[in-house]
Structure 1
Amino acid sequence: MADALAPFVTALHELGWPAQADPARGRIRLGVNCANGQFVVAIEVDTDHELVRCLVAYPVRISPADRAAVVEYLTRVNFGLPAGNFEMNYADGEVRFRASLPTAAGALNVAAARHLVQQSLATADHYVNGLLQVEYGNVSPIEALREADSPSESEPAADEAAAR
């Protein structure tokens, strides 16, 4: 398990992001401030499925009354994503973005680890405002997605956000 985490430890160190690694349990945790929100990132080795998951947890729990609308928003977002997906735990309202890389056949290296973490964070950060609009702003899932995906002068391009 520690071998699979090594590229992530190196990538996070190179990015200057302090992380708590637990090689015995196959996990790394860290908090990251992005342009639109603060996220908790968990990197987990899944030996049964031979992959490493990057989970980016959203800073809020969705209220029971808004869960159906938020699930609609997340489903609409997921349909257009090139990789990874959003998921919500209906029991407690936790929302997170999940993406993974295979651990077999030497697929893991520092560049791949960095890309997985940065793209996961960029995707989570890009869609957090839409989620908050659905949860707190009485905005429809369709309108929230339209706003999230419309170009904004204040928002960096996807490749620029990924480089952060």
Structure 2
Amino acid sequence: MNNNLEYCHLAVDLILHNSAQSSLTVRAIALSLTKQYNKLIDCHLAFRVNAQLYNLIETEGLFNLKPGIHNFKPGKFLPDTDITIETSLKPDLLPLLAEQATNAEEAANYILKLSQEQPEHILLSTESWLALSVKQQQESGEVGYRTLWSYISPANLSQIENSGEEIVQGIVNFFQDWTEANLSAKTQEAATKMLEGIDKFLTEFNNIEPKENPPTSPTDGKIFEEMINFFIADDWPFVQLPEQPALQISFQGENGKWNCYARAREEQQQFLFYSICPVNAPQDKRLAVAEFITRANSGMMLGNFELDFSDGEISYKTSIDVEGDRLSNALIQRLVYANVMMMDEYLPGIMSVIYGNVSPEEAIAQIETYNR
């Protein structure tokens, strides 16, 4: 296999953010790229954190350090010595990096530049990186652990059709090491927790959905093709979701930055576009947010806000059914720009309801007064 590995040594602070857009500063020490036949298939970032920050990372499951994915519990980490974490960029985000960098040094410089100029970029999100190992050097030797992701290799996850056996073998090896290390603490609770963590992550990672019968519409792939063509022509950087006719796009508005999703439904001959609010509504604010978006939706001519009561996710959706017609760039442009403009316009109101204890009625009134 023609793999080429490139290293770039670092010694610089890097600012990352979690899903709640809270920042955390790590000490980046190395970045490496792996290419196969000149195609980027892996990117590793190693950094150091103090014990306090590591405890936060572990508690909140940052860098996909999910419960139950350690191969064994480490020896006790010392409170006054830095801990080294090695991570790998999720494979579906590698094209974003490959567009900007041809070697490890350029990749490192690009990520550091984003840290200074676009701190909310998806490449700086802890959700975008998989923790491979956690280690601390002590006088008695190195202590720490590897995670499931180091056993199955993120590069394999991006090529499941060709790497299924390697992934299965990696999981088997992980189970063997985990069992040996936890033999004295064999409990059903621990085993169940680990299995749930593995299954949940792999499902989320690969966006696995129930398979439907292949569409037989004569416009197979046309909506997705038009969608791709529009975002390329309109200069919107995007990432295709694995094995789905859908794109993930980062958008910067005047009032914030958020992720958008464009989806083609070929069988139904529909195009959908979503803006996902950068913050979820806390449970105690969901009724207020529901009132806010109900008031906002009143009179909307194109699209509407939606609220997922299960997790507080707020989104704005625009869509079109083109059965018997064709999807054009002009139609896509209208739906996309109307969508992001509405999210940008109403985002301050959403934030004021969640964080400023402003009533939904007052928040809507402020927006309407400002935009007259």
Fold in common (TM above 0.5) = yes
Task: Please state whether the residue corresponding to 1:147 is helix, strand or coil.
Answer: helix
Higher alpha-carbon Rg: 2
Alignment-derived partner of residue 370 in structure 2? 151
Which of 110, 116, 120 is matched with 2:335 structurally? Answer: 116
Match in the other structure for 2:286: 67
Structure 1: 4+ residue segments shifted above 6 A: none
Aligned partners of 1:2, 1:19: CA distance in 2, in Å?
A: 18
Provide the secondary structure at the position in 1 that maps to 2:277. Answer: strand
Q: Does 1:133 align with 2:337?
A: no
Structure 1 equivalent of residue 230 of structure 2: 11
Aligned residues: 153
Match for residue 29 of structure 1? 248
Tell me the distance in 1 between the aligned counterparts of 2:329 and 2:276.
Answer: 22
TM-score relative to the length of structure 2: 0.39
Distance in 2 (CA, whole Å) between partners of 1:45 and 1:9 is 10
SS at match of 2:260: strand
Name the CA shift for 1:110/1:92 in 2 (closer, same or farther; >3 Å).
Answer: same
| 1:5-61 CA-partner distances (Å, limit 9, x unpaired) | 222222222322111135952111111111111121111122453311101100001
d(CA) in 2 for partners of 1:29, 1:2: 18
For 1:90-141, what per-residue CA distance to the aligned partner results, in whole angstroms no more than 9, with x for missing partners?
0100000011011322331111111111110001111000000000001010
User: What runs of 5+ residues in structure 1 fail to find an aligned partner?
Assistant: 158-164
The partner residue of 1:79 within 270, 274, 298 is 298
> Which secondary structure state, in structure 2, belongs to the residue aligned with residue 59 of structure 1?
coil
Q: CA RMSD in A?
A: 1.8
CA distance in 1, matches of 2:364, 2:287: 15
Choose the corresponding residue for 1:104, options 320, 323, 331.
323
Asked if 2 retains the 8 angstrom alpha-carbon contact of 1:84 and 1:97, the reply is: yes
Are positions 1:51 and 2:270 aligned together?
yes
User: Residues of 1 paired with 2:292 and 2:268: CA distance?
Assistant: 29
Instruction: State TM-score, norm by structure 1.
Output: 0.86
Indicate whether 1:2 and 2:221 are aligned: yes
Q: Secondary structure at the match of 2:310?
A: coil
Measured in 2, the distance between the counterparts of 1:36 and 1:2 equals: 35
% identical equivalent positions: 25
Give unmatched runs, 5+ long, in structure 2: 1-219
